[in-house]
Structure 1
């Protein structure tokens, strides 16, 4: 068995996430306290009690999701003796890439929390509310080629690109509002169904360049070490171990495509991964993995029972 830990991105947050881990494990409580201290905010109280609209704010959701993921991996290590270095690779969806790097010891937990707070704020600042849009194109025949054709139609009147290639049947486009609307019309002509996403900014498109510039400055001053397990990066869908390359690719990721389908294809193919463990809130990635890699197993890890069952299975 070859194992990869994967880490969820924005959209997996929910009020109450991580509360049962904190009740059950001292290691999880330590993670939540360290994140609270790093941000000088009772983020854990917001995570467990809401209100939901505050938790959903990008600047809160990003560090909060990372905190749950790290509570899972720290608990696995301290309570069950299962470190991230047991995995052949790590990967994360968008902000989950930071969670993966923190879990693998590449960036400290406190630095990761602060970087994600800045990342959320910078993304929000990059484009005025209402000027950008994102849409998920879904359906059996929806693939990246269809999405690129739709985005090209939108790009005739403004910025519009494929932002997330999640899996066949689920591709997200992002850009200027009018351009995305044009792309939706084209996608529907081509047979896809479009769902407009309730997001505060158009992530993973060139409109995010101001946020990428802010992250470049912040990452230049951050300590980045070689991860204990190689990271399969969003922007290349290939493994990376060198700290300077990781630093550069985290900047590129702000405006670049999340190549999640290609990442899963590489892990299950050349990477030889047969088992995926989704460390953190929800089970969105496990669903994507089952569609992309039907021969692999995918296990969500976000409750004490999940962790205990996973530990026994190894």
Structure 2
């Protein structure tokens, strides 16, 4: 069976995630230790004990989710699963960094440092209260793009995440996103839900963060990944370090084309998605995007052992 490994993004974090991996696998403990050392603080204590409001901060959630994903990956490897058994890897937003670290393009330490910087840069790009995001349910990508155009009125309102299953997130100026929410029912949407986020991610307002990440990624060491990485902004695979660098910069302001990424994987012959890390968001979306796909989530020691049994 052809499989792809997928790595979750922000919103999948929860206090206590990864604790069973830390307790059961020395290889997983080593990942948490490496992240703590790279950041110069005990992020692992925040991951395991909270408080939740601090873990949810973008600058903490991003490296924390990567740490748990890589801890799960190392546990899988210790049970005999070689990364080369995957045909492709992909990750949702920050999860793309987790995917790249899993296949050797980044070291764990470098991924942690880049995600800490990315989280801070994205948070700082727009003053608090000036940006917003909302989930639009029940419209296709073309209809949401048209809705954003109507709602913008000279402000920024753009599709940010096409998550599949009829869920597309829009991002931009607070006033424009509020107009999109108000207009959504008349456009045929089932629901429009403002999201409790701290900044308008994945839209053109993130340009200052993209510039900071361009500098950081230019100085970062990126090796050719052992497995092709299907990137968010292209919905297509690459193993070229320069292309990876360029796509990660574009990702800050660009749309997360998750539905298209999963469709690409299914059309490339992938039969099973294995979500590696905290939560079950991506595995839950898989069959809603393409009914041919089987999916499983692996974020605990028990799930690793179960998967290893075959």
Band the TM-score falls in, shorter-chain normalisation? over 0.9
- Any conservation in 2 of the 1:70–1:280 contact (CA below 8 Å)? yes
1:186 is aligned to 183
- Any conservation in 2 of the 1:158–1:176 contact (CA below 8 Å)? yes
Superposed CA RMSD in Å reads 0.8
Q: CA deviation at 1:239?
A: 0.5
2:103 is aligned to 104
2:37 is aligned to 37
2:128 is aligned to 129
Cα distance in 2, alignment partners of residues 188 and 21 from structure 1: 44
Q: CA deviation at 1:157?
A: 3.2
- Any conservation in 1 of the 2:165–2:285 contact (CA below 8 Å)? no
1:11 is aligned to 11
Q: CA deviation at 1:112?
A: 0.3
Cα distance in 2, alignment partners of residues 107 and 237 from structure 1: 20
- Worse-matched range after superposition: 183-192 or 195-204: 183-192
The answer to whether residue 119 in structure 2 is matched with residue 120 in structure 1 is yes
Q: CA deviation at 1:294?
A: 1.3
Secondary structure at the residue paired with 1:137? strand
2:28 is aligned to 28
Q: CA deviation at 1:168?
A: 3.4
**Long gaps (5+) in structure 2:** none
Cα distance in 2, alignment partners of residues 7 and 166 from structure 1: 14
Cα distance in 1, alignment partners of residues 147 and 47 from structure 2: 37
2:150 to 138, 149, 153: 153
2:291 is aligned to 294
TM-score (norm 2): 0.98
User: Would you say how many aligned residue pairs link Structure 1 and Structure 2?
Assistant: 309
Cα distance in 1, alignment partners of residues 186 and 130 from structure 2: 24
Q: CA deviation at 1:57?
A: 0.2
Cα distance in 1, alignment partners of residues 287 and 278 from structure 2: 17
1:235 to 227, 233, 236: 233
TM-score (norm 1): 0.97
Q: CA deviation at 1:286?
A: 0.6
Q: After TM superposition, what 4+ stretches of structure 1 lie above 6 angstroms from structure 2?
A: none
Alignment of 1:179-258 (within 5 A): 179-192=176-189, 193-258=191-256
**Long gaps (5+) in structure 1:** none
